[in-house]
Structures are given as C-alpha cells and as structure tokens.
Amino acid sequence: MRTPLLLIIFCAAIASKAQVDIPYTTGFEGQVGNLAPLFPEGWTWEDLNTVPFGDQGWQIIKNTGSQQNAHTDSTAAHMFSHSSEQNNDWLYTPGMQLQGGVTYTFSFWYSVAPLFPSTERLAVKKGSNPTALAMGEPLWINTSITNQTYEQGTFDYTPVNDEVTYFAFHYFSEEFQFILLLDDVSITGSTASVAELNSDVMHLWLQSGILNVDLPRSHGTSVLSILDAAGRNVRTAPLAGCLTSVGIGELPEGSYLARVATSNGKTFTKRFVILR
C-alpha cells in the first residue's frame, strides 16, 4: 500500500532543525541530482495539496543544453503548477539566529520559465518552526509574476527580541500555470538602522584594548553583546554592577554596537569605533 505523500513530507519538514550563521547565501549549487527535492542542508519543504499530482513539490532544477534555468551558475529551485487545484507548496530555509534590534535584509531572485507564459504567485513568510502552521503574514508577496527574466525580491525585517526564525517561500499559483524559478537567496544584517536606546545614560570609552561600560546604576544581572557592522554578535560578556571593563583587543578596526540587556528588562545600546 502506498504511504500518503503528504504525511511523509510533513514529517520531513518538522524533523529538521539545522541552523545557519548570518550573513547567509545560497545559489543551491553543489546539489546532486535534478528534478528532485535535494536541497542544501537545513532546507525542507511541504506539499499541502489534497489531490495527488505526480512528483509534486519544490525541487532542484539544473540548466540544460538549451535552457538557462538558474539566475547564476547552473542550479536553481523551482515549482511546477498543479493540474487541477491551486498550489499550496512551501519551501523553508534553515533556522536563522536573529538578534533583537538588528535590521536584516532578505533577498532572492525569481522568474517564470521562459518556455511558456504563465502567471505565478509567491509569498515569503516567517515563523518559529519550518511548518505552514507556524508561519505568519507575508513579508513579501507577488500575485502576478510574469517576468521571464530574473527579477530580485527583497524586504527588511527587524525582530524586537532575539529569535530563531525560519523563512518560507509559499507557492500558491492557480492550477494549470507552468514553472516558477527561485535562485540566489541571501540574508544579511546591519546595525546601521538600529536606534540607540538610552545611549545618553550609558557611557563607553576605549583604553588599551579595553572597552569600559558605565551604566547609570546597577541593574542586577546584565549581559553585554557586541555586534559588528554586519549585525553579527562577536562578543558576549556578563556585566557586574554599573561599571565593567571588557577586553576587545582582538577585534579588527570598524564600527560596532554595544548592547546591554538587563535582568529587569531594560536595554542600552551605543555605537563605538575601533581604530588601530
């Protein structure tokens, strides 16, 4: 007896909890096979259509001798439209550790296959788990994709608190369309747009490879995080009292953001620059 495909796909999606570092990018290169769901590590997918339709679901696709399917190099992801009902197919990124207050830019490239005109639909959502039930409202959506050459989709997302996030590509085209292509997915973080919080009452100064942090008063247990210009956490240290010194002599030149989170729910942030 044939096992229902939907159950297999759902279990495969929720079983994977791989996480990746930011900045992150993939062009789906290096994946063996063609027209198969053989994605990079951590990527999962769900086919939630109720009517079986062949080998349906998000898959890897390669260039052919006569057709350039990828935006760059030789590999992309793609979805093939259902023959009798609206698609309900999901492709999930690996989990991404995002930091509160940091603005992240999510980018990807998409097109319809140039062999046959069609109108495709795609949305990008986010959630705490790689399942459709965990996803929220669209962060990006296009219900009339007709471009036969690649165009870039992009949006910014700023979480309030630290979180592990999964982004989802939701393909929901009407039946009997054709092929949607997806390639070159990336996410980067930047502290440039992070507003300084309570910076007038937190003082920083550098002295011989030491960062001195002075809070207006003791806030109990506090944690200092130092973020570089790409939004990556490059140092974490506990703070005791209102005046603490932390060694940062090994950090390279550049712009940084110091963020102090206290046990009583307060947050202090202030930028500083390391010059050698």
Between 190 and 114, name the one with better pLDDT: 114
Does pLDDT of 147 surpass 80? yes
Calculate mean pLDDT across residues 19-47: 88
Does pLDDT of 8 surpass 50? no
For 119-182, the DSSP string reads -EEEEEEEESSSSGGGB-S-SEEEEEE--SS-EEEEEEE--SS-EEEEEEEEE-PPTT--EEEE
Closest C-alpha among 127, 106, 128 to residue 25: 106
pTM, entire model: 0.69
Does pLDDT of 264 surpass 80? no
Q: How far is CA 252 from CA 1, 230, 258, in A?
A: 61, 13, 15
**What domains appear along the chain, each with residue ranges and CATH number?**
5-189 (2.60.120.200), 203-274 (2.60.40.3080)
Calculate mean pLDDT across residues 152-163: 88
Does pLDDT of 177 surpass 90? yes
Does pLDDT of 101 surpass 90? no
Residue/partner pairs of 5-12 with CB below 8 Å, 24 or more apart: 5/47, 5/52, 5/56, 6/47, 6/48, 6/50, 9/45, 9/46, 9/47, 9/57, 10/46, 10/131, 12/44, 12/45
